[in-house]
Structure 1
């Protein structure tokens, strides 16, 4: 599992995959889909697929794959290496969704929630397998939202496939269990080796489970809040837990518009633009590190 490209720039999502086994190009195959890291306020969400010939489902089951949430980290790592070592008949692919991409997607002007993002990612991975030459006939998916509606949606997009969407599919179908292991191993590795591009001083990586209801996670969020720029990209700032801390502890700013000042005076609350203006003695304005870290470019000159 080569994660170096994502680790070099974790502000962007990445797709990585194993080679497609030759047998999967000629024999009917089944494919499972699952995710890891949907709920945490910290780190990426990872969607994974795993596929193998329908005729070798029993071999996959005999490898003792199971829902990744029921396995220890050591067992997940061992099983992933076993899956990866069975490249003669098993293939996999992963889509690592950066927390930066998750947050900006959910906060864009047009409504785009986490369920829609999850559905689109799963659809993209199915299409990726088809485009790679996998002879898919069966797809098994751990549901996001109502299972019947999700299944109907996938069948309309892929009418040639036999699609099954179920709650807890990772405990029902070995091929989904295998996908859940791939996704969970990738997320654990990425979170453990996360490269913070922001200057956080003496970084404390003891952030607990990363889930919003974890007191240790909440305390870490409060401690690593920049009063103007908010959180490092490790944080999903669209989550309500992060938003609440921002509302209570961040510097209040207003998007300045003098035309809206009915009193004729200027507000004591600074315009957010004032934080980004260049010093008067600088001939060429320099982009603040906040924008450099997030690969943001100005749309107009101030």
Structure 2
């Protein structure tokens, strides 16, 4: 979890009896939400171990007490480079029209420039919309999928989503609605989540990022973060990729697949 920014300050007032009375803390946030929180704590600690970073702590108590919705989506499922990122977006249910007004849509259907523009809009409204991002390292995915118990990628993904919901609840967000882009069979996944969170209205659908603005917001957080991380990849000191090598989106596309078939050796 990202540390609380030191720009958060406490102010006090004095009541008629002369006793200091603490006011609610008010975030003092700079443009683009402090350069996207130090670009998520320096590229999620240089893309090392799996970790979660969040801006939910910057939401005021008043916002957290309102009925809130949370959307979840991912980027980097089955990557060649970089982690798989699961992101959640949290906002008051009363902000649904504000989200629609931003023009949010499935990140994969938008240009890179439009995704960046939408991210900047959300960061400029960080007093009412927050994110949490769970980075799952390739090493963790590999270890779990090849372990004796063989944890599937679907289960890894579902556990990440569950963790993001718990993260919001643990920070006292009054979650009343959760929307998730499905992995696996939507009906089964929804029933499972509903059993874990019986007091929350759970909706799991395929292409939820194209239907629900709060999932679209999560999709933008996940996709732009992963794209920015990959853009910095050659500068990360890994010594295996020549400078200025085009990386694409880090998925196993045609060039990657051809390379693997050409240079693989039988075991």
Q: TM-score, normalised by structure 1?
A: 0.69
Q: Does the CA contact (< 8 Å) of 1:3 and 1:190 recur in 2?
A: no
Cα pair distance change 1:44/1:116, threshold 3 Å? same
Query: Which piece of structure 1 moves more, 154-163 or 197-206?
Result: 197-206
- 2:114 is matched with 75
| CA distance in 2: counterparts of 1:207 and 1:157, whole angstroms | 39
- 1:47 is matched with 86
Say yes or no: does 1:21 pair with 2:21.
Answer: no
Q: Does the CA contact (< 8 Å) of 2:178 and 2:201 recur in 1?
A: yes
Q: How many residues align?
A: 227
Match of 1:133 among 168, 172, 189: 172
- 2:207 is matched with 168
Q: Does the CA contact (< 8 Å) of 2:44 and 2:51 recur in 1?
A: no
| CA distance in 1: counterparts of 2:248 and 2:217, whole angstroms | 26
- Which structure 1 segments of 5+ residues have no match? 223-240, 253-302
Q: Does the CA contact (< 8 Å) of 1:11 and 1:99 recur in 2?
A: no
- 2:240 is matched with 200
1:34-183 aligned within 5 A? 34-183=73-222
1:202-217 aligned within 5 A? 202=242, 205-212=245-252, 214-217=253-256
- Which structure 2 segments of 5+ residues have no match? 1-35
Shift of 1:209: 4.2
Q: TM-score, normalised by structure 2?
A: 0.78
Say yes or no: does 1:3 pair with 2:40.
Answer: yes
| CA distance in 1: counterparts of 2:248 and 2:124, whole angstroms | 32
Shift of 1:201: 7.5
What is the root-mean-square deviation in Å for CA atoms of aligned residues?
2.2
Higher strand share: 2
| CA distance in 1: counterparts of 2:59 and 2:182, whole angstroms | 27
Shift of 1:215: 3.0
| CA distance in 2: counterparts of 1:181 and 1:173, whole angstroms | 13
Q: Does the CA contact (< 8 Å) of 1:142 and 1:165 recur in 2?
A: yes
- 1:228 is matched with none
